[in-house]
Amino acid sequence: MQTHQTYLEANRERFLAELIEWLKIPSVSTDESKKADVRRAAEFLRNKLLEAGADTAELCETAGHPIVYGEKIIDKNLPTVLVYGHYDVQPADPYELWDSPPFEPVIKKTALHPQGAIFARGACDDKGQTYMHVKALEMMLKTNSLPCNIKFMVEGEEECGSGNLEPFIKQNKERLQADVILISDTGIIANDIPSVEIGLRGLCYVEVEVTGPNRDLHSGVYGGAVANPINVLCQMIASLKDEKGRITIPHFYDKVQELSAEERAEMAKTPFDLETYKKDLGIDDVAGEDGYSTIERTSIRPTLDVNGIWGGYIQAGAKTVLPSKAFAKISMRLVPHQHPDEIAELFEQHFRAIAPKSVKVDVRFHHGGFPYVMPTNSIEYQAANLALEETFGKKPIPTRGGGSIPIVALFEKELGLKSVLLGFGLDSDAIHSPNEHYGIFNFFKGIETIPLFYKHYIRLKNNA
């Protein structure tokens, strides 16, 4: 019987070619004009699950983009792992900053990826990482080594808030029954430093609108006497943080869990070089909340970032307009035990409270997600730990990520299941940015590691 290694060698090129086909489909879930492409991406995945050997695989309709569900049940008495991923991708703009078109994947070697990396929107987040699970399933089935039941639930709305996932889960609790969730939508510290994400930040995303006069005005005739909504919005946004980099929204930090000195000392051991970090980003200095390290600022501390701002005349040339409106998209990353809905309410109350009488403000809540932490003494964490140690040849480091996967908290709430974050990306993969890419080393390392997680998980569970 073939080993995983020999099967992988024999099918390496095909696996890459299939992923590249998938990446060519611009499944941008926030873009209405891409609706048909999003669906094509879902159909592609369904077909590949069936080809891999799943018993069933289908598109489940939702109020938005479909959810791809598939399963391989080998024995009802064996444990079941539910794999979650998403086939939708971030918008690719600004297009002009891509070295190659975002939906025309190319393989290029880089300093960090001497074996080459696939450059395309979604290469890492999350098509590339999701596809590792499809190929791992195929490999285990073709080599008769699948030790448990596997279910796949891959959504098409992760990049726009997973709004239709909760109703789907509530309606399909029976079908989604499992023992653990396995997700590859995170990263490792480096290709020679394996790590497991044991924490995630939550998210609260709002959009604000500030209205001054009821029409655009001539800045000469009215300037100086009528509040300019852009100037006001800037003042309001600036006031959301104090000189220590702390968020000024009343009660914002009330539920934030402070880590112990021991926990912070443990975190401080994570390999990190500030100079390399600054050099990679082209910045002369980092900036953030006083009293916390860069690693802490991006993991155990909440944030407030303006993700977009616009108002007035923003085309070439000059227009002396005092505009009627100004807008901003603002998101806050949350940490245990902040509640996205509570934070949204605190934000709105405060934002309305600080608005001067000369303007009107509107606040719209886009979407949110809960923060999450995985206990390191759990079987789930141990299994991931051992699998990585086996493929990388060294002990992985537990880390806490700054991103958000709202689904993780949702799973715990609705299905009572823990999620294992077995991701293989690198911070340098430029997800959500131009020139997103995913290392070929990482892609195949993932396909190798996933079956080992199953092996150790089943063993530990049987011994438990």
Residues 100-129 that bind a second copy (CB under 8 A): none
CB of 185 to a second copy, least distance (A): 11
Q: What is the pairing mode between strands 106-108 and 419-421?
A: unpaired
Q: Which of 85, 105, 128, 161 binds a second copy (CB under 8 A)?
A: 161
Which residues, 314 to 333, sit near a second copy by CB under 8 A? 314-323, 326-329, 331, 333
Min dist CB 305 to a second copy, Å, is 5
Q: How far is the CB of 38 from a second copy (least distance, A)?
A: 13
Peptide bond into 337 cis (omega under 30): yes
User: Residues near 426 by Cβ (< 8 Å), separated by ≥ 6?
Assistant: 112, 187, 188, 190, 191, 439, 442
Q: Is 55 helix (H, G, I), strand (E, B) or coil?
A: coil
Q: How far is the CB of 303 from a second copy (least distance, A)?
A: 4
| Closer by beta carbon to a second copy, 203 or else 384 | 203
Handedness of CA 95, 436, 139, 458 (dihedral sign): negative
Stretch that binds a second copy, among 9-17, 143-151, 250-258, 352-360 (CB under 8 A): 352-360
How many C-beta neighbours within 10 Å does residue 88 have?
Answer: 28
244-273 residues in contact with a second copy (CB under 8 A) are none
**Residue for token pair 């958000």:** 404
Contacts of 176 (CB under 8 A, 6+ apart): 82, 151, 153, 169, 415
How far are the Cα atoms of 157, 248, 293, 298, 342 from residue 289, in angstroms, in the given order? Answer: 32, 12, 9, 10, 22
Residue of the chain from 64, 194, 401, 423 that contacts a second copy (CB under 8 A): 401
Query: Which of residues 33 and 462 has its CB atom nearest to a second copy in the complex?
Result: 33
- Contacting range for a second copy; rule: CB under 8 A; set: 164-172, 258-266, 358-366, 441-449: 358-366
Q: How many CB atoms lie within 10 A of CB 100?
A: 13
What distance in Å separates the CA atoms of residue 401 and residue 186, rounded to the nearest whole number? 8
Among 7, 8, 1, 6, residue whose Cα is nearest residue 441: 8
Contact call for residue 312 and a second copy (CB under 8 A): yes
Q: How far is the CB of 134 from a second copy (least distance, A)?
A: 24
Pick out residues in 292-311 that bind a second copy (CB under 8 A). 294, 297-298, 301-311
- Sketch the per residue contact string, 35 through 54, with a second copy: x for CB under 8 A, - otherwise: --------------------
Among 39, 241, 255, 461, binds a second copy (CB under 8 A): 241
Residue from 434, 458, 459, 460 touching a second copy (CB under 8 A): that is 434
Rounded to the nearest whole angstrom, what is the least distance from the CB of residue 380 to a second copy in the complex? Answer: 22
Determine the size of the site formed for a second copy (CB under 8 A): 100
Kind of pairing, strands 372-373 and 149-155?
Answer: unpaired
| Contact mark string toward a second copy, 191..230, x via CB under 8 A | ----------x-x-x-x----xxxxxxxxxxxxxxxxx-x
Question: Which CA distances in Å does 166 have to 159, 369, 436?
Answer: 15, 12, 29
